[in-house]
């Protein structure tokens, strides 16, 4: 494997390809290409993973990039899951925001990804332990 982690937005085609690989098809969710592109364009920070020229993963932050962010579309193609691809992408995301004291970063993990996010320092909200997770930069310990 010749893996590369790049701080960039995926192309619309790469985005659709990754989502399709994990059964998150946009068309089935009534999301047009135009809406998907606008969503990507408004993301303040993205990381993509490549094996040679082939995209194999992505993660992005949505939000205002100054006070609030939300981890969105953490995707690793099925053949690459469990190989540290997601971990390497998250490390780049966190390194990019680690200087932003008071920045609140959240995510809404699936049951299988709670442990993944916890490993980076995300905490569960006590009133909803299976839902929203968060960290506050400068207040909570980052585990990069």
Q: Are 4 and 49 in contact (CB under 8 A)?
A: yes
Position with higher pLDDT, 108 vs 7: 7
> What are the structural domains of the chain?
3-136 (3.40.630.30)
Q: What is the pLDDT of residues 21-73, one digit of tens each?
A: 999 999 998 999 999 999 999 999 999 999 999 999 999 999 998 999 999 99
Quote the CA–CA distance of 53 and 31 in Å, as a whole number. 26
Q: How many residues does the chain have?
A: 144
**In this predicted structure, what is the pLDDT of residue 128?**
62
Q: What is the pLDDT of residues 87-130, one digit of tens each?
A: 999 999 999 999 999 999 999 888 888 899 999 999 887 666 55
């Amino acid at each position: 494997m010749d893996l590369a982690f790049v701080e960039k937005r995926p192309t619309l085609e790469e985005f659709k390809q990754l989502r399709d690989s994990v059964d998150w098809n946009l068309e089935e969710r009534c999301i047009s290409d135009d809406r998907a592109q606008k969503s990507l364009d408004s993301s303040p920070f993205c990381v993509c993973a490549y094996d040679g020229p082939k995209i194999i993963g992505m993660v992005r932050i949505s939000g205002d990039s100054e006070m609030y962010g939300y981890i969105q579309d953490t995707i690793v193609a099925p053949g690459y899951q469990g190989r540290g691809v997601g971990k390497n992408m998250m490390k780049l995301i966190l390194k990019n925001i680690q200087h932003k004291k008071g920045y609140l970063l959240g995510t809404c993990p699936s049951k299988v990804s709670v442990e993944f996010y916890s490993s980076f320092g995300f905490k569960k909200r006590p009133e909803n332990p299976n839902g929203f997770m968060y960290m506050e930069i400068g207040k909570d310990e980052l585990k990069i």
